[in-house]
Amino acid sequence: MADWIKLTAADGHELDAYRDGPQDSPLCLVVLQEVFGLNSHMRYACAQWAAAGFSVIAPALLDRAERNVELGYAPEDLQYGFALRAQIQESASLADIEAARAWFGERKVGVVGYCWGGRVAWWGATRSNAFAASVAWYGGGIASNKDETPRCPVQMHFGEKDHSISLDDVAAIRAAQPGVEIFVYDGASHGFGCEERPTFDQASYDLAQSRSIDFLKHYLT
């Protein structure tokens, strides 16, 4: 049964987290939000992972700027989310995802992130030894960190028509990271995996989700 828990990061910051799925599953996953908070879409995403057998924790990464954030997808929501994100240091986000990982104890743990969370999932792979595998869905800004060295296997998913992540950026990531598995979805836009956005693409979502599940199961079991 899904519920809310409290986590404490290494620097003492206390944050909320959403938990779903079988607590004793060997498939453990930290799910990282977009800039819109742990809204209904992110809880739905957690439910999909839980249905696939994963024990899931989604830390409230925006708690360091404002608590209980649940935004929609209007332009003003996006700008508000960006403003909150700008208040949070990269090292703080890393501390928060490591706190979520620590909840699982000695089990292997993967991380998956969407948009901003995709970039944080990349940091989880390159700046931490906490994760056994990392998956990034349309991770904005990864190109600017493309030369960092991953410490675990990484898979990435991008939309061909993403207005905020160009195919040139994707090509640059490919060139810098030949060991990273990268997929581009024909005709898909940014947020193609969000059922609440007009850019939702069912076929691309289904394929990306299937690939992500197979990838994570391979490295977590």
> What is the CATH classification number for the domain harbouring 70?
3.40.50.1820
Q: What is the mean pLDDT of the chain?
A: 97
How far, CA to CA in Å, does 150 sit from each of 65, 115, 122?
Answer: 28, 18, 8
Residue ranges making up the domain that contains 65: 3-220
C-alpha span between 86 and 91 (Å, rounded): 13
Q: Tokens for 138? A: 């349309």
For residues 185 and 163, the answer to whether their CB atoms sit within 8 Å is: no
Q: What digits encode the pLDDT tens for the residues 126-158?
A: 999 999 999 999 999 999 999 999 999 999 999
Q: What digits encode the pLDDT tens for the residues 66-110?
A: 999 999 999 999 999 999 999 999 999 999 999 999 999 999 999
- Tell me the whole-structure pTM to 2 decimals: 0.97
Q: What digits encode the pLDDT tens for the residues 21-38?
A: 999 999 999 999 999 999
For residues 36 and 70, the answer to whether their CB atoms sit within 8 Å is: yes
In the beta sheet, which residues pair with residue 59? 17
Number of domain units in the chain: 1
Query: Quick one: which H or E segment has residue 113?
Result: strand 109-114
pLDDT, position 1: 76
Q: Which amino acid is at 46?
A: C
Mean pLDDT of the region 100-122? 97
